[in-house]
Amino acid sequence: MTELAVQLVTISPEEEGQRLDNFLLKWAKGVPKSHIYRIIRSGEVRINKKRALVTSRILSGDIIRIPPIRIATPEIVPNAHKNTLNAIKIDKNLSILHEDDHLLIVDKPSGLAVHGGSGISLGLIEALRESRPELKFLELVHRLDRDTSGILMLAKKRLCLTTLHEDIREGRMDKRYLFVAHGDFDGGLGHVSLKYPLYKYLLPNGERRVKVEDFGQASLTTIKWLGSSFQGRCFVGEAQLKTGRTHQIRVHLQHHGYPILGDDKYGDRLLDKAIGPKRLMLHAHRLVITHPQTKERLTIVCPTPVGFDFDRTLKQELL
């Protein structure tokens, strides 16, 4: 353990907008949350020489006084070099759809988690941070399920992140997904709105699931029928998210009677076995946003990857 003397930290524009407790938890990694709360509430942590609350928002140029605290001494991690090489490989193999000083938009491959977790040491965000150490700030704007491919946004500036989060909350983004599902979706009725409320829960093993429940969160997905596939046994559609709930498209379609091919959580394994999808047939293929800095409308289109198979002639017509 290393004990630091009193520190005076000046907040950069990239750090602006965070809660004080969240900033300190990142700055003093390894220090228990209870200790962080105690030094804030006791007045030992100050913003511009004034007492602050746990929930105080920090601004660019603020000077944070941090009292002497013990921080765990970084250990030599046996696999650190291997992780760095893996991170560089992930970054190198990513298709960059758009990049500027504020925003990074990539084509996430199916099978790559957006962040690490139980059993996953290196997700996409960790890999990019490891391979691009010059970036002082890099955060996911939104998430994609591990087996969903396609457009994923990351913010290089905190103001960019908060602006895009507000756009998501206010429904100012247009996010669309291509999918292949079992059945023939009402014979081509055009657009159909699915409004099933969604409830998130945990399985006994801790894995999260979502189901339709009357007391769940209001959710809206608009489905556009694009054509039949696999000799009429399936259909290709485009889903437009009006809300952004966990597993929303997958659960809405499953509940409506049209499970997505290759969905190991909500799909139909017997129907899948007859067709043999190689992956979850869900791909984030189109995004329209207002650029958080330039305020220009930005349209991103992401082609479907190898392995996202449906009738070749139909695919050519759509893309």
Yes or no: say if 122 and 90 are a contact pair by the CB < 8 Å rule: yes
Tell how far CA 115 is from the center of its chain. 8
Tell how far CA 295 is from the center of its chain. 22
Cα torsion for 106, 107, 112, 114, to the nearest 10°? 40
Collapsing DSSP to helix, strand or coil, 296 comes out as: coil
Structure tokens at 56: 């105080």
Yes or no: say if 154 and 160 are a contact pair by the CB < 8 Å rule: no
Give the DSSP letter string of 189-255. Answer: -SEEEE---EEEEE-TTS-EEEEE-TTSB---EEEEEEEEETTTTEEEEEEEESS--TTHHHHHHHH
Which residues contact residue 114 at a Cβ distance below 8 angstroms, ignoring those fewer than 6 apart? 108, 123, 124, 125, 140, 143, 144, 146, 152
Q: Are strands 282-290 and 149-155 parallel, antiparallel or unpaired?
A: parallel
For residue 282, the one-letter residue type is L
Distance CA 154, CA 39 (A): 32
- The CA-to-CA distance between both ends of the chain, in Å, stands at 57
**107 part of the active site:** no
Cα torsion for 169, 175, 177, 182, to the nearest 10°? 50
Which residues contact residue 92 at a Cβ distance below 8 angstroms, ignoring those fewer than 6 apart? none
Catalytic residue among 21, 62, 107, 145: 145
Query: Any idea which residues carry the catalytic annotation?
Result: 145
